[in-house]
Amino acid sequence: MQFEVLGPILVRDDEAEILQIAQGLPQVLLALLLLKANLPIPADRLIDWLWHGKPPKSARSNLKTYVALLRAALTPGSLPVRTAGNGYLLVMEPDSLDATIFGRLAAGGRQAVRDHDLVGASRLFERALSMWQGEALHGLDLRGELANWAHRLEDERLSVSEDLVDVKLALGRHNDTIGDLLSHTARHPLRERGHAQLMLALYRSGRQSEALDTYHRLSHTLVGQTGVKPGLHVRELHAKILNAHPSLAHGPLETSMSGFHT
């Protein structure tokens, strides 16, 4: 059985067929159990999370109904949703969750970068990103714990996409990155790392003026919305582009694998 949260929440059986999970709170309950997979969650805490601190009088009875619905929907012959004391837990193998596999592939890609295997890193990052089918937990009422989880997953997705761009730039594939980076920076106008990558890709593609325009657009947005200027790395990159510094033409990664998460 496979569970998917990198998009709409889905459950697939061993033949990859989608199992039908009742919409609404049963799906929210499944997401909460996945968030704390293999750990018992007290019923009172689940009730608090499901109804955001304002449960109806029938909450405990409703919870039991939702658990029964999940048990009926999941693979016959197994009992992945188990009673644990005064609560419940979801029994799951680590590689049964797409978010876990995504994290493992991303970690492998970063290790490949450290090992100077950029082609291998590119493949691992691309495999990781291909697992996404939309926004994390799309379609659920995301508040509290689930909202935090979805935010963490989305932030890691952005980081991996930027890691992949770093690798492509190091491999000389700057032309391949520009279209995606234009979309990326438009969606995330305050994210310095993506703008720095776009500046470098444009410069290496012979589009110096557009690279400088990218910096000015970022600076204007940051100052206008946060009151701060771009960070030191971006300012230094801007100065190098302005002066056509020879170090920008080729060579190792020009943007940090761990920087610019604004």
CATH number at residue 80: 1.10.10.10
Q: At what angle do helices 192-204 and 144-170 cross, to 10 degrees?
A: 20
Average pLDDT over residues 111-135: 97
Residue 200: CB atoms within 10 A of its CB come to 25
CA 52, CA 91: separation in Å to the nearest integer? 25
Q: Which two tokens stand for residue 157?
A: 């997705």
Confidence (pLDDT) at 94: 80
CA 240, CA 140: separation in Å to the nearest integer? 46
Average pLDDT over residues 227-241: 93
- pLDDT of residue 260 exceeding 50, the answer is no
- pLDDT of residue 239 exceeding 60, the answer is yes
- Would you place residue 253 in the very low, low, confident or very high pLDDT band (cuts 50, 70, 90)? low
Confidence (pLDDT) at 257: 32
Q: Which of 94, 127, 154 is the last residue of a domain?
A: 94
pTM (predicted TM-score): 0.88
> In this structure, are residues 2 and 131 in contact, taking their beta carbons and an 8 Å threshold?
no
- pLDDT of residue 189 exceeding 50, the answer is yes
Name, of 62-76, 103-117, 239-253, the range with top average pLDDT.
103-117
Residue 16 resides in a domain: yes
Comparing 255 with 170, which gets the higher pLDDT? Answer: 170
Q: Which of 40, 72, 94 is the last residue of a domain?
A: 94
Residue 84 resides in a domain: yes
Residue 242, CB-side half-sphere exposure with 13 Å CA sphere: 10
The total of structural domains in the chain comes to 2
Confidence (pLDDT) at 254: 52
CA 162, CA 193: separation in Å to the nearest integer? 8
pLDDT in tens, 139-184: 998 999 999 999 999 999 999 999 999 999 999 999 999 999 999 9
DSSP E strand boundaries for the chain: 2-4, 10-12, 41-42, 81-84, 87-90
Confidence (pLDDT) at 256: 35
Confidence (pLDDT) at 59: 96
pLDDT in tens, 39-78: 999 999 999 999 998 999 999 999 999 999 999 998 765 7
Confidence (pLDDT) at 261: 40
Q: Is 12 helix (H, G, I), strand (E, B) or coil?
A: strand
Lowest mean pLDDT across 94-98, 100-104, 254-258 = 254-258
Q: Which backbone phi and psi does 3 adopt, to 5 degrees? A: -110, 140
Q: Which of 33, 62, 94 is the last residue of a domain?
A: 94
Average pLDDT over residues 82-107: 94
Residue 184 resides in a domain: yes
CA 200, CA 254: separation in Å to the nearest integer? 8
68-77: long-range pairs with CB below 8 Å, 24+: 69/21, 69/22, 69/26, 70/21, 70/26, 70/29, 70/30, 70/33, 73/11, 73/19, 73/20, 73/21, 73/22, 74/1, 74/11, 74/19, 75/1, 75/13, 75/14, 75/19
CATH number at residue 240: 1.25.40.10
Confidence (pLDDT) at 255: 43
Residue 113 resides in a domain: no
Domain that holds residue 22: 2-94
CA 185, CA 214: separation in Å to the nearest integer? 9
Residue 36 resides in a domain: yes
Comparing 76 with 101, which gets the higher pLDDT? Answer: 101
DSSP E strand boundaries for 177-245: none
CA 63, CA 80: separation in Å to the nearest integer? 16
- pLDDT of residue 127 exceeding 90, the answer is yes
CA 23, CA 199: separation in Å to the nearest integer? 44
- pLDDT of residue 207 exceeding 50, the answer is yes
Residue 110 resides in a domain: no
Residue 160 resides in a domain: no
Q: Which backbone phi and psi does 46 adopt, to 5 degrees? A: -60, -40
Instruction: Tell me the three-class secondary structure of 59-110, residue by residue.
Output: HHHHHHHHHHHHHHHCCCCCCCEEEECCEEEECCCHHHEHHHHHHHHHHHHH
Residue 166 resides in a domain: no
Q: Which backbone phi and psi does 59 adopt, to 5 degrees? A: -55, -45
